[in-house]
Amino acid sequence: MERRQIVIFDTTLRDGEQAPGCSLYPEEKVRIARQLENLGVDVIEPGFPASSPGDFEAVQTISRAATRAEICGFARAIFSDIDAAVRATEDAPKRRLHLFISSSQIHLDFQLRKSREEVLRIARECIAYAKQFVDKIEFSPMDASRTDEAFLWEMIETAIEAGATIINVPDTVGYALPEEYGAIFRRIRENVRGIDRVMLSAHCHNDLGLAVANSLAALRNGAEQVEVTVNGVGERTGNCSLEELVMAIDTRGEALQLATAIDPSQIYETCRLVSRTMNFPIAHNKPVVGRNAFQHESGIHQDGLLKHRSTYEIMDPERLGVPRNMIVLGKHSGRHALQHRLAQFGIHLSDPELDDVFRRFKDAADAKKTVSDDDLIRLAAEGTGEMMTSYTLVHMQVMTANDQVRVASVTVRDNRTGVEESHSCTGSGPVEAVIGSLKKAFPFPTEFVDLELHSLSVGETANGEATVTIAMGGETFRGTGVHPDIIVAVAHAYMSACNQAAQEAHSLHAVQEALAARN
C-alpha cells in the first residue's frame, strides 16, 4: 500500500520565534529559511509581517529567495494585517495567507470581549477580503481544542463558505489528550459541511508534553498537514517538534502508512543551526538530536552496539547527519567500550595491559562523573610507560582583559619526533585565541565545527567539561576535556579531537605508502 504523503508546515520563524529570548535578525531568518528548504519542508511561515518592519523585511526577503517551499503570510483577522502579509509575500513563487481568530469561549470573554456572532462575521469578512489577493487561504480558529464543538463546526463552515482552503485546528495551550484531539478531527470530518473540499491541518503545543502524540493522532484521523518547529521551539514549552514527528513517521512508517518529503540527512544540521542562532540549547535528552540520543554508557548497551547497532538504536544517527559518538565512558562502561575508544587514538593494548588499564579506569570513573579523553590516555600511558598520542600540549598561557584583545600562547610536542614548537594568536575571546594558537601547531588543516560547555557540579570550584568537534577531510572528530579552568578544558578537548584526526591521517598515509610500494 502506498503511504500517504504529509505536508510539513514549518513555523519556526514565526511561532518558534515567539519563545522568550529567541528573536532573530532578518538575515538570521533568511539563513534558517534556506536550510529549511534544504531540509525539504513543504511550507515555511517566515514571520508576522504586520508585527514590525524587521519581520516584514524578513518575510519579503525569504519570499523572493524561495525556490521550492511555499511561503505563508501570517495575519490576524484584521484588514491591515492582511494587507501587510499580502505585500510581504507577493514575490513568492508559491504562497498562501494564514488568518486566525479566537474561537473558545474563554478567549471570547476575556481576550477579544466579543460575541460569537461578531467573531463569525469578522472571520467571514476577512477571509473574503484575503481571497481577493491569494487563492490559498488557511484559517485557524485559535484555541480550537477548548472550543464548544457545535460552535467550532459553525466557525469552520463559515470559513469554508468564505473561501478558506485549509482549516488548521490549533491545540493552542497544549490542553488536549491524544484521543481527544484525534476525535476532534474525526468529528469535524463527519459533521462539517464542505470539509471534503479543504485540507485539514494540526497545530499542537507541548504544555503537557503531548504535541507529537497529538499531531500523530490528528494524522490518523484525517489531518493532511502538521505545523511544526525545529527543536520544538515556541511559546511556553513549545510546539510539535519537526524532527521528532518526522522521525516517528520515518521509523514507524509501515505502521502509520505515512511519509514526508523531509531529507533526514539535513535534520541534525538544521537543529544545530536553529539552536545556535536562537541561543536556545538542545536538551541532552532531546529525542533524535539531543547529546544523549545516540550515546551509551551502560556496558551492556555498549557491548551490544559495538556488535550491531540495531541492538539498542532504532534510528541510524549517521543517516540524520549526527556525528557517530555513541560511546561515553563512565562507571557503567565495559571493557569492550574502553578498548574501542582507545583504538580511536591508535592505542592497542595486550590483554594484560587492557585488564590493568580497565581496573584503574573503573577507579577513576567511580571518582568522576565521566572519564575524559585526557584521563583515558593518561591511564593507558601509565599502564604501558609509553607516549600514547601523536601530540601533547606542554604549556598554555592566556592573557585576558575586559577592554583588550585576548592573547594566547601554546607549546605543543610532536611525540613522534620529540620536537616542541610554540605558537601564539590573538582573538576577541580566550577560546578563539587558544584555538588559533593550537591550529598553528598541527601540520594538517582542521575546521572548528562545534563547542559545547557544561558544568559538572555547582559552586566556584566546579569542573567544566568541554566537547569540541572538528572536521578534517570530510570526517568529524570529537574530543572531550575536563578541568576547573574551562579554557584549559577546551584546549584539552581540541587536542583530543586533533589527535584522533592525526591518527586517521597517519593510517591513511600508511595505506597510501603500502599501495605505492605494491605498485
Encode pLDDT of 7-48 as tens digits: 999 999 999 999 988 999 999 999 999 999 999 999 999 999
Domain with CATH 3.20.20.70 in the chain: 4-278
Is the CB of residue 225 less than 8 Å from the CB of residue 9?
A: yes
For residues 229-254, average pLDDT: 97
Q: Count of CB atoms within 10 A of residue 163's CB? A: 18
Question: Residue 327 pLDDT > 60, yes or no?
Answer: no
Question: Which range has highest mean pLDDT (245-249, 353-357, 464-468)?
Answer: 245-249
Three-state SS for 172?
coil
Is the CB of residue 140 less than 8 Å from the CB of residue 99?
A: yes
361 or 471: whose pLDDT is higher? 471
Q: Which CATH class is domain 4-278?
A: alpha beta
For residues 277-306, average pLDDT: 75
At residue 326, the pLDDT reads 52
At residue 510, the pLDDT reads 45
For residues 430-456, average pLDDT: 91
194 or 332: whose pLDDT is higher? 194
Give the whole-angstrom CA distance, residue 22 versus residue 117. Answer: 37
Question: Residue 518 pLDDT > 70, yes or no?
Answer: no
513 or 422: whose pLDDT is higher? 422
Point out which residues pair with 98 in neighbouring strands.
74, 138
Question: Residue 517 pLDDT > 60, yes or no?
Answer: no
Which H or E run contains 408?
Answer: strand 406-414
162 or 332: whose pLDDT is higher? 162
pTM of the model as a whole:
0.80
At residue 301, the pLDDT reads 60
Domain with CATH 3.30.160.270 in the chain: 391-514
Question: Residue 423 pLDDT > 70, yes or no?
Answer: yes
Give the single-character DSSP code of 260: -
Q: At what angle do helices 430-441 and 486-518 cross, to 10 degrees?
A: 20
105 or 293: whose pLDDT is higher? 105
Domain with CATH 1.10.238 in the chain: 299-384
Is the CB of residue 151 less than 8 Å from the CB of residue 103?
A: yes
Give the whole-angstrom CA distance, residue 240 versus residue 102. Answer: 20
At residue 462, the pLDDT reads 80
Give the whole-angstrom CA distance, residue 310 versus residue 319. Answer: 14
- Residue 473's pLDDT band, with cuts at 50, 70 and 90, is confident
For residues 294-310, average pLDDT: 62
For residues 234-263, average pLDDT: 97
CATH number of 391-514: 3.30.160.270
CATH number of 299-384: 1.10.238
Question: Residue 360 pLDDT > 90, yes or no?
Answer: no
Burial of 419 (0-12, 13-18, 19+ CB in 10 A): exposed
Give the whole-angstrom CA distance, residue 175 versus residue 141. Answer: 15
Whole-number percent of the chain with pLDDT over 70: 90
CA dihedral over 256, 258, 264, 269, signed as positive or negative:
negative
- Total residue count of the chain as it appears in this document: 519
Question: Residue 236 pLDDT > 70, yes or no?
Answer: yes
Non-local (6+) Cβ contacts of 459 within 8 A are none
At residue 306, the pLDDT reads 58
In the chain, how long is the greatest CA-to-CA distance?
Answer: 87
Range from 4-13, 145-154, 435-444 carrying the lowest mean pLDDT: 435-444
Question: Residue 418 pLDDT > 70, yes or no?
Answer: yes
